[in-house]
Structure formats: C-alpha cells, structure tokens
Amino acid sequence: MTAASISRWEHYYTPATVAEALDILRRYDGRARVVGGGTDLLVETRRGLHRPVEAMVDVTHIEGLDTITFDDDDIVIGCGVTHSQIVSDPRIFEQGTCLSESCGVIGGPQVRNVGTLAGNVAHALPAGDGTIGLLALGGEIEVASDDGSRWMPLQDSFKGPGKSFIDRYRQILTRLRFRPTATGEGSAHHRVMRPQGLCLPIISMGVRLKIDATNTVTDARISMGPVGPVPYLAEPAMEVLTGGPATNEQFVRAADVALEHVELRTSKYRASREYREQMVRTWLPVILNRATKRANGGAS
C-alpha cells in the first residue's frame, strides 16, 4: 500500500455533540479516528505513520467546545480551541503565561489558526510546545468514551513517543484545564530552535513558580522536551527548588539536577547532546527568573 493510498479516507464527519461523535466512532468500530486541526495528522498520514481509516471525525465543531471559559476556578479550554485563540486570550496571557508563550511559537500563523491544543496533547509528541506549557501549569484533560467522561492529569496520558493512553479511535479528548496563577505565582516558557526555517525545537521548557513574602519558593513545576520518549516533568529539579530561596544560584542548581535525570541525545535534526545540555543550563535559570519576576508583580 502506498503512502498516497493511506492518506485517503472515504467519509469526513463534523458532529455537533460529543454523543454524536462517540456514536460515529462506535459504528465504525476502530475504522474511524478523531481529528482536530489536522496539522500534524495529515503530514504523518501521508508518510504512512498511521493505519488507514475509513472516516475522520472532526470534533472542532462540537457546540461549546470551541471556547475558553472559567469553571470552578479553572481555566477550561475546549478541544476545538486553536493556538491563536489561546495566544490572544487575555486571561491566559495573564494567568497562564507559559501556555500563551508556548502556543505562540507553534508553526506559523496559518498553523496556529487551525491547529488545536487538544490535538497537540493527543499526539503526545515529546516536543509538543503547547503540551509542555500546559504540563508546567499542572494541566488536566477530560476524556469522553462510551463509559462516560473523566478528568485525568496531563502527565498520566503519555504512553510513548507519539503514543497516548487516549484511544483516538474510540475516545475523545474533549476539554483541557488548569488552575490560573494567582498572587505570588508566575510562569514562563522558552523554546530554543534551529534558525534555518525548521520548526523542530532543540529544547522546550516551561515553569510555574509560587513565591512567598520571604522570597522562598513554596511550589514549583518544570516541564521539558524533547528529553526522552514523552514530555518530561522534572520532579527532582522541582524538589530542589521547593523550600529554597528564589535566587539565580538555586535556579542554576535546578538546571544541573534536571540534566542529571534526563538523557539528551545528539540529533542531526536538532543539535548535539552537548549543545542541548548547554541550552538547558543557559535558559532554564533565565525562565525561572522570568517566572519569579512575574510572581512578584512584573508584567507578563
């Protein structure tokens, strides 16, 4: 079977409700799959990286899932929300800055206008920028199936490179959410990438810090990718920061600890292992300092 034949499907559905979408998936019994913006899926399908399907189920038209809302003190993002919507939303810019920054570096304007954060997460790529930003914020995802809907921590959804615990042939990632940063909290994201027009990140990092009145870090989250088969939550580095002073010396130490627990490799498409290590040592303290300034009332 050629890549061209694999890239074709016979039917394309745009259900108006989650129940309708699940019914379509049930009828096709594994021969249809969920699609959002399709910016990654179409490229990968043409390369033969996905099994052929008879139908695509586009969930971006489901009523109520194309908006950003507040719900029980969380910011909730529907599966149809594009990267451009996230970047332009003032609530996320102020109270989830690292997600706004991470979605803002994905592709070009055309990709951001079509691609969705839900699609970025569902693809489970170890370097998905939007995924890295949401992971730093402590994000959760809602998965709908015939058994009902349930929320789960984002970090529990990764199975391997490009593999998610979400069954995209029978389940739907319907919503994503995170607790907005409050007084004394700040977040930041930075991506190092090659300048030759390739959108592959050399390293992508997101952080969220909570700082008290004595300049002590009371809570910390650090996400990184690609540093392994799945987006990485740097818990050893987070432990180093928590309870200590919010100083550059501590941030440099956290970068060293983070590197002790990951295995960066040389990639002809990204950079050498040594260069990528240097980028972590250089930029992780920078974005930790940036998040600290935001926690202390600095502008996003």
211-235 pLDDT, tens per residue?
999 999 999 999 999 999 999 999 9
- Asked whether residue 191 carries a pLDDT value surpassing 70, the answer given is yes
Average model confidence (pLDDT) for the chain? 91
Adjacency order of strands within the sheet including 55-58: 11-13, 55-58, 32-35
Query: Once rounded to an integer, what is the mean pLDDT over residues 133-150?
Result: 97
Separation of alpha carbons 54 and 290, rounded Å: 48
In this prediction, residue 4 has a pLDDT band, given cuts at 50, 70 and 90, of very low
Query: Once rounded to an integer, what is the mean pLDDT over residues 188-193?
Result: 94
Task: Judge whether 126 and 231 are in contact, CB under 8 Å.
Answer: yes
- Asked whether residue 7 carries a pLDDT value surpassing 90, the answer given is no
Q: 121: closest CA among 111, 132, 112?
A: 132
Alpha helices for the chain (secondary structure H): 3-6, 18-28, 41-46, 83-88, 90-95, 97-103, 109-114, 117-123, 129-136, 235-241, 248-260, 273-295
Handedness of CA 92, 98, 99, 101 (dihedral sign): positive
Task: Judge whether 259 and 276 are in contact, CB under 8 Å.
Answer: no
Largest CA distance in the chain: 64
Which tops the pLDDT comparison, 2 or 196?
A: 196
Structural Rg of the chain based on CA atoms: 19
Q: What was the pLDDT predicted at 5?
A: 43
Task: Judge whether 48 and 4 are in contact, CB under 8 Å.
Answer: no
- 122's CB contacts (< 8 A; 6+ apart) are 34, 36, 164, 166, 168, 173
Concatenate the DSSP letters of all residues of 191-209 into one string. Answer: EEE-SSS---EEEEEEEEE
Q: pLDDT digit string (tens) for 159-179?
A: 999 899 999 999 999 999 999
Question: Which segment of 48-62, 70-84, 94-108, 191-205 scores lowest on mean pLDDT?
Answer: 191-205
Map out the domains of the chain as residue ranges. 185-295
Task: Judge whether 253 and 242 are in contact, CB under 8 Å.
Answer: no
Separation of alpha carbons 42 and 52, rounded Å: 12
Which tops the pLDDT comparison, 37 or 266?
A: 266
Cα separations (Å) of 211 from 134, 187, 206, 235, 252? 20, 11, 17, 18, 17
Tell me the pTM. Answer: 0.92
In this prediction, residue 194 has a pLDDT band, given cuts at 50, 70 and 90, of confident
Separation of alpha carbons 220 and 223, rounded Å: 10
Portion of the chain with pLDDT greater than 90, in percent = 79
**What is the CATH number assigned to the segment(s) 185-295?**
3.30.390.50
- Asked whether residue 197 carries a pLDDT value surpassing 60, the answer given is no
